[in-house]
Amino acid sequence: MEMIHRYERFFLGSTLAIMGIALVAVISSFFIEDLELPSPVETVDPAELTSHPPFDRPGLFEVGENEYDAIMTAQAWAFVPSVIEVPVGAKVNFKIGATDVVHGLIVHNTNVNLTIIPGQISQATATFDEPGEFLMVCSEYCGIQHHNMAGRVIVK
Ligand code: CUA
């Protein structure tokens, strides 16, 4: 006598096959699409961040042809610098650390969406092909003025 009914065996098999296909899709997308999980590029004592180069001089630095490093700090309740101006077509590498609590950095209409954990430097790159203003907002609740923690990327 069969221990497992053939219908049950069929559904068990189908479930495992679907799980297998999903797993293969997720794992292969990392290689095919070159996906990366955001990971800390560096660790820094948050109390020392503002005296730790390059974060002792936050700002925009040209590092190549229309390519810039945006060196930023996040603290309650501001980004430094809060306004970044670049020419159209600029590639901007955002490098940001927090001095106090967890903040976030979302640059609207780009792929930049970082969690900024004190002690870690977060990094993301975006290319600005269209002129305009892109709002930067903090995406982690960081205290009573969280909703006012914002900035802009101006592309012209
Ligand atoms: Cu910083 Cu919310």
Q: How far apart are CA 145 and CA 14, in angstroms?
A: 51
What confidence score (pLDDT) does residue 37 get?
63
Q: What is the pTM of this model?
A: 0.77
* Residue 155 β-bridge partners: 86, 132
Which of 26-30, 50-54, 90-94, 143-147 shows the lowest mean pLDDT across its residues? Answer: 26-30
Atom of ligand 1 nearest to the CA of 101: 1
Q: Is 155 in the pocket of ligand 1 (CB under 6 A)?
A: no
Cα 8 versus chain centre, distance:
44
Question: Measured in angstroms, how far is the CA atom of residue 34 from the centroid of ligand 1?
Answer: 30
Which pLDDT band holds residue 31 (cuts at 50, 70, 90)? confident
Cβ neighbours of residue 119 closer than 8 Å, sequence gap 6 or more: 43, 44, 45, 46
